[in-house]
Structures are given as structure tokens and as C-alpha cells.
């Protein structure tokens, strides 16, 4: 039987880089120019958490799907691949 998305996510493993590969360039733009802080909705890894007036970035859980490079309406996320050997590890079911 086909696996659900949630079941597939359990197959992901991470080798986190000590340094984030994701940077919010301007937290003020998130507060004033982005209704609903949509990266908190479209990111499948639930990397972005909006708390108070600041965006917290749990980069360790990034799936490296690249959606935030095109999904942020303010071009406000600097996105790079993690250093070689770091980041998400996909396993086949
Ligand atoms: S989508 Fe972009 S502008 Fe909106 S909250 Fe996220 S990082 Fe900020
Ligand atoms: S690349 Fe994908 S998983 Fe990683 S932070 Fe962006 S939207 Fe989330």
C-alpha cells in the first residue's frame, strides 16, 4: 500500500550543519509586508515559526525542496545548499 506523506517523512534523516543555510534578510518585512507569514504555511518541513515579531528558522529540519526560494513574496529568504555531507538524507521505503 502507498505510504502517506507523514509516513514518508519518518524516513527522512538529517545531518545538520552547525551553521544555518537559511537566512531571513529582514524580519521587519515579515511583520509588515507579509500577511499570514506564508512561509509558515507552505514549508513542508515546518522550518519557519513566527513568534512575536521575529521569524525563527529551524533549518535543521529543512527538506531542501527549494519552495521558499520562490514562495516568499518579498524575496526575503537567503537560501543556500548546506555544506557538502550535511542536510537531509532521503531513504527509500
Ligand atoms: S514568506 Fe518571506 S516575507 Fe513572508 S514571513 Fe516568510 S520570510 Fe517573511
Ligand atoms: S527549502 Fe523547503 S523545506 Fe527547506 S525551508 Fe524552504 S520550503 Fe522549507
Q: What is the CATH number of the domain that holds 54?
A: 3.30.70.20
**Above 90 in pLDDT, residue 3?**
no
**High-pLDDT (> 90) share of the chain, %:** 58
| DSSP bridge partners of 55 | 50
Average pLDDT over residues 43-48: 95
**Above 90 in pLDDT, residue 59?**
yes
Spacing, Cα 44 to ligand 1 middle (Å): 15
Residue 51 lies in a domain: yes
**Nearest atom within ligand 1 for CA of residue 77:** 7
pLDDT band for position 93 (cuts 50, 70, 90) = low
Q: Please give the pLDDT value at position 54.
A: 93
Mutate to test the pocket of ligand 2, among 56, 58, 65, 76 (most ligand atoms within 8 A of CB): 65
Residue 22 lies in a domain: yes
Average pLDDT over residues 37-55: 95
Residue 5 lies in a domain: no
Q: In terms of Cα–Cα distance, which of 69, 60, 67 is closest to 89?
A: 60
**High-pLDDT (> 70) share of the chain, %:** 89
Residue 30 lies in a domain: yes
Spacing, Cα 66 to ligand 1 middle (Å): 14
Spacing, Cα 84 to ligand 1 middle (Å): 27
SS3 letters for the chain? CCCCHHHHHCCCEEECCCCCCEEECCHHHHHHCCCCCCHHHHCCCCCEEEECCEEEECHHHCCCCCHHHHHCCCCCEEECCCCCCCEEECCCC
Amino acid at each position: 500500500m502507498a505510504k502517506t506523506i507523514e509516513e514518508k517523512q519518518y524516513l527522512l534523516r538529517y545531518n545538520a550543519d552547525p551553521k544555518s543555510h537559511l537566512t531571513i534578510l529582514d524580519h521587519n518585512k515579515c511583520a509588515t509586508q507579509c500577511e499570514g507569514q506564508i512561509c509558515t504555511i507552505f514549508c513542508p518541513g515546518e522550518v519557519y515559526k513566527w513568534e512575536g515579531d521575529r521569524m525563527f528558522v529551524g533549518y535543521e529540519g529543512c527538506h531542501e525542496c527549494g519552495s521558499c526560494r520562490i514562495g516568499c513574496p518579498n524575496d526575503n529568504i537567503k537560501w543556500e545548499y548546506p555544506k557538502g555531507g550535511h542536510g537531509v538524507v532521503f531513504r527509500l521505503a
